[in-house]
């Protein structure tokens, strides 16, 4: 632990000059004095040239225009009291730390007494095991000096809060386990500077909210568990910048909704667990950009439907669990749509969570290349188009239909493919262009005086889509019926 000095005071003392160190507020709660030898005798001219005594292994820094310069015990230390700030570091008072932390440090370095722990000892520790220690609180400086620490286990304790700067300076930390505590909140910036961290475990706490940017800067993070907490919502940018994140656990919370862009930018994410929450709907595009996602768990929520495009772009998905929702199984519609004059395509409005291979057939015609199936690639919303040709011996309308629907692959559950009610789909209408429609006067109503009507109609037994216009010209009106001639626009 270092003391950054706010003021430097001097007084004469036997054997040299006493350097009184007034600690900055919050750095240490006492004022320390250390005797140093005056290399210039009794003349205290400015700047002072002093030699730091090798007492308790203290070292010192003097701040100059060129930066901070370290002075080891026995080296000259030039100080201008009115211009310089001095930092003194030493044994860092391991004995003053939280009991469980103190004992773990002593055990890690292999000494018998906490007073024997030096800065060098602290800097050599790479693993600190504080699990199951009944720790109820930590002090701000408990982990100071552990500059080489790679693994820190604080799981299975009774922590309800964390000091703001508890992890400050742990730039080598890779593994931080805070599972199974009683944390209700996290301080802003509590993980700031942990640029080497790749695992952060916060499972089984009592977190209700997450601060904006609480994970900012954790560019090496690969695994983050927030499951089994009491989260009801999350900031939209809470995971922003976590480009290395591969696994994110959010199951067993109380989430009712998700911000639309909450997972944006998580380009390395492979596993996302959102099961056993209270989600009633999903925002469109909430999984957009997650091309690396392989495992998606949404079971145990309250979903009744899925938005358009929800699986668009999920080209790597191997496992999708939608079981035990309010609607089980959830329907995923598939249909066939006309493209241009004589082509059609398959469409899955939600996007295909796996490659859809749909058996298709044509009535009164044939499909390009005698194809019997059409494919929607995984992560796509539609297939490529196929041409269709009318049979030579007919003028009847040519329609296409999906013959059967594929079952779900291994690892997929809780949803089912459904044919759209518009099938079969007319691709080529009857070669006859004329038709006669009869409607009763009350159907014509106030439009009876119009010269042209646009209606929805059935032609040769094939329902025309709502956007297919039929122009009707009124030739005569009688009390019994109206005769109208139609032609397809």
- Split at pLDDT 50, 70, 90, the class of 374 is very high
Backbone angles phi, psi at 290, to 5 degrees: -90, 60
Write the CB contacts of 60 (distance below 8 Å, at least 6 apart in sequence): 52, 70, 71, 77, 86, 87, 88, 89
- Token pair for 300: 């145990």
Strand partners, 399: 363, 426
Is residue 168 within 8 Å of residue 145, measured between CB atoms? no
pLDDT at 22: 30
Q: Which residue has the higher pLDDT, 471 or 92?
A: 92
Q: Mean per-residue pLDDT for 53-75?
A: 42
Domain count across the chain: 4
325 within some domain: no
pLDDT at 82: 38
Domain termination residue (choose one: 252, 278, 304): 278
What would the pLDDT profile of 78-135 be if each residue is shown by its tens digit? 444 433 344 333 335 899 999 999 999 999 999 999 999 999 999 999 999 999 999 9
- Token pair for 427: 């691709």
Coil, strand or helix at 409: coil
Q: Which residue has the higher pLDDT, 12 or 329?
A: 329
286 within some domain: no
Q: Which segment of 232-241, 314-323, 437-446 scores lowest on mean pLDDT?
A: 437-446
Q: Mean per-residue pLDDT for 421-447?
A: 67
Domain of 169: which CATH number? 3.80.10.10
pLDDT at 29: 30
- Token pair for 429: 């209408």
Task: Give the residue among 158, 4, 187 at the shortest CA–CA distance from 88.
Answer: 4
Distances (CA, A) of 103 to 56, 97, 247: 21, 9, 34
Please tell me whether residues 414 and 469 are part of one structural domain.
no
Cα 170 to Cα 193: distance, rounded to the nearest angstrom: 8
Strands (E), 151-238: 151-153, 175-177, 199-201, 223-225
Please tell me whether residues 172 and 266 are part of one structural domain.
yes
Domain of 409: which CATH number? 2.60.40
Cα 296 vs. chain centroid, distance in angstroms?
12
290 within some domain: no
Is omega for the bond preceding 465 within 30 degrees of 0, making it cis? Answer: no
Q: Which residue has the higher pLDDT, 86 or 297?
A: 297
445 within some domain: yes
Taking CA 79 as the corner, what is the angle to CA 38 and CA 85, rounded to the nearest 5 degrees? 135
pLDDT at 93: 80
Domain termination residue (choose one: 89, 122, 153): 89
Cα 201 to Cα 399: distance, rounded to the nearest angstrom: 56
Q: Which segment of 172-186, 213-227, 348-362, 459-473 scores lowest on mean pLDDT?
A: 459-473
> How would you list the strands of the sheet with 48-51, edge to edge?
67-71, 59-64, 86-89, 2-13, 16-23, 32-38, 48-51, 76-79
- Placement of tokens 């802003």 in the chain: 188
What would the pLDDT profile of 239-296 be if each residue is shown by its tens digit? 999 999 999 999 999 999 999 999 999 999 999 999 999 999 999 999 999 999 999 9
Is residue 3 within 8 Å of residue 23, measured between CB atoms? yes
Whether the per-residue pLDDT at 186 is higher than 60: the answer is: yes
Q: Mean per-residue pLDDT for 469-485?
A: 42
pLDDT at 459: 52
296 within some domain: no
Please tell me whether residues 158 and 19 are part of one structural domain.
no
Write the CB contacts of 179 (distance below 8 Å, at least 6 apart in sequence): 155, 156, 201, 202, 203, 204, 205, 225
Instruction: Pinpoint the alpha helices (H) of 35-111.
Output: 99-109
- Placement of tokens 């106030």 in the chain: 446
Please tell me whether residues 119 and 236 are part of one structural domain.
yes
Domain termination residue (choose one: 60, 89, 118): 89
Please tell me whether residues 253 and 236 are part of one structural domain.
yes
From first CA to last CA, the distance across the chain in angstroms is 84
What would the pLDDT profile of 347-372 be if each residue is shown by its tens digit? 999 999 999 999 999 999 999 999 99
Whether the per-residue pLDDT at 192 is higher than 70: the answer is: yes
Please tell me whether residues 271 and 145 are part of one structural domain.
yes
What would the pLDDT profile of 11-56 be if each residue is shown by its tens digit? 322 233 334 333 222 333 332 333 333 333 333 333 333 333 333 3
Whether the per-residue pLDDT at 230 is higher than 50: the answer is: yes
285 within some domain: no
* Percent of the chain at pLDDT exceeding 70: 69
Please tell me whether residues 6 and 98 are part of one structural domain.
no
Q: Which segment of 59-73, 329-343, 386-400 scores lowest on mean pLDDT?
A: 59-73
Please tell me whether residues 140 and 194 are part of one structural domain.
yes
Please tell me whether residues 167 and 261 are part of one structural domain.
yes
Cα 106 to Cα 73: distance, rounded to the nearest angstrom: 25
303 within some domain: no
Cα 340 to Cα 428: distance, rounded to the nearest angstrom: 10
Please tell me whether residues 190 and 107 are part of one structural domain.
yes
Cα 21 to Cα 30: distance, rounded to the nearest angstrom: 9
Whether the per-residue pLDDT at 471 is higher than 70: the answer is: no
Backbone angles phi, psi at 105, to 5 degrees: -65, -45
Q: Mean per-residue pLDDT for 63-74?
A: 45
Please tell me whether residues 375 and 242 are part of one structural domain.
no
Average pLDDT, the chain: 79
Quick one: which H or E segment has residue 441?
helix 441-444
pLDDT at 430: 86
pLDDT at 181: 98
313 within some domain: no
- Token pair for 478: 């009688």
What is the domain range of residue 394? 333-428
Please tell me whether residues 14 and 125 are part of one structural domain.
no
pLDDT at 27: 31
- Token pair for 102: 């103190």
Whether the per-residue pLDDT at 321 is higher than 50: the answer is: yes
Write the CB contacts of 241 (distance below 8 Å, at least 6 apart in sequence): 215, 216, 217, 218, 219, 265
């Amino acid at each position: 632990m270092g003391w950054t000095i706010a003021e430097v005071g001097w007084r004469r003392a036997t054997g040299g000059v006493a350097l009184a160190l007034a600690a900055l507020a919050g750095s240490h709660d006492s004022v320390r004095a250390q005797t140093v030898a005056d290399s210039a005798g009794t003349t205290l001219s400015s700047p002072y040239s002093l030699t730091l005594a090798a007492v308790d292994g203290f070292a010192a820094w003097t701040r100059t225009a060129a930066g901070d310069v370290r002075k080891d015990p026995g080296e000259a230390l030039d100080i201008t009291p009115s211009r310089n700030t001095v930092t003194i570091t030493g044994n860092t008072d391991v004995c003053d730390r939280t009991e469980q932390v103190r004992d773990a440090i002593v055990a890690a370095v292999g000494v018998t007494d906490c007073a024997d722990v030096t800065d060098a000892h602290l800097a050599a520790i790479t693993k600190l095991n504080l699990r199951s220690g009944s720790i109820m609180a930590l002090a701000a400086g408990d982990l100071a000096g552990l500059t080489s620490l790679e693994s820190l286990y604080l799981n299975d304790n009774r922590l309800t809060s964390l000091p703001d700067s508890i992890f400050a300076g742990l730039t080598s930390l890779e593994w931080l386990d805070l599972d199974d505590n009683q944390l209700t909140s996290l301080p802003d910036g509590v993980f700031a500077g942990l640029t080497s961290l790749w695992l952060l475990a916060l499972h089984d706490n009592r977190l209700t909210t997450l601060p904006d940017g609480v994970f900012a800067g954790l560019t090496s993070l690969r695994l983050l568990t927030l499951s089994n907490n009491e989260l009801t919502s999350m900031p939209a940018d809470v995971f922003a910048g976590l480009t290395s994140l591969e696994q994110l656990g959010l199951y067993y919370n109380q989430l009712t909704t998700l911000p639309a862009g909450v997972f944006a930018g998580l380009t390395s994410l492979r596993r996302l667990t959102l099961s056993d929450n209270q989600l009633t709907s999903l925002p469109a595009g909430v999984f957009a950009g997650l091309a690396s996602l392989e495992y998606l768990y949404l079971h145990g929520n309250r979903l009744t439907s899925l938005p358009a495009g929800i699986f668009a772009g999920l080209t790597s998905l191997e496992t999708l669990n939608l079981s035990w929702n309010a609607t089980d199984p959830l329907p995923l519609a598939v249909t066939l749509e006309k493209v241009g004059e004589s082509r059609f395509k398959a469409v899955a409005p939600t996007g295909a969570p796996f490659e859809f291979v749909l058996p298709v057939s044509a009535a009164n015609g044939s499909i390009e290349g005698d194809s019997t199936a059409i494919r929607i690639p995984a992560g796509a919303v539609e297939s490529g188009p196929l041409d269709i040709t009318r049979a030579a011996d007919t003028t009847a309308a040519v329609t296409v239909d999906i013959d059967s629907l594929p079952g779900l692959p291994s690892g997929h559950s809780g949803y089912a493919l459904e044919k759209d009610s518009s099938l079969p789909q007319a691709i080529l209408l009857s070669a006859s262009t004329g038709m006669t429609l009869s409607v009763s006067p009350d159907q014509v109503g106030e439009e009876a005086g119009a010269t042209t009507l646009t209606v929805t109609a059935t032609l040769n037994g094939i329902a025309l889509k709502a956007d297919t216009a039929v122009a009707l010209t009124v030739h005569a009106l009688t009390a019994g019926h109206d005769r109208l001639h139609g032609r397809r626009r």
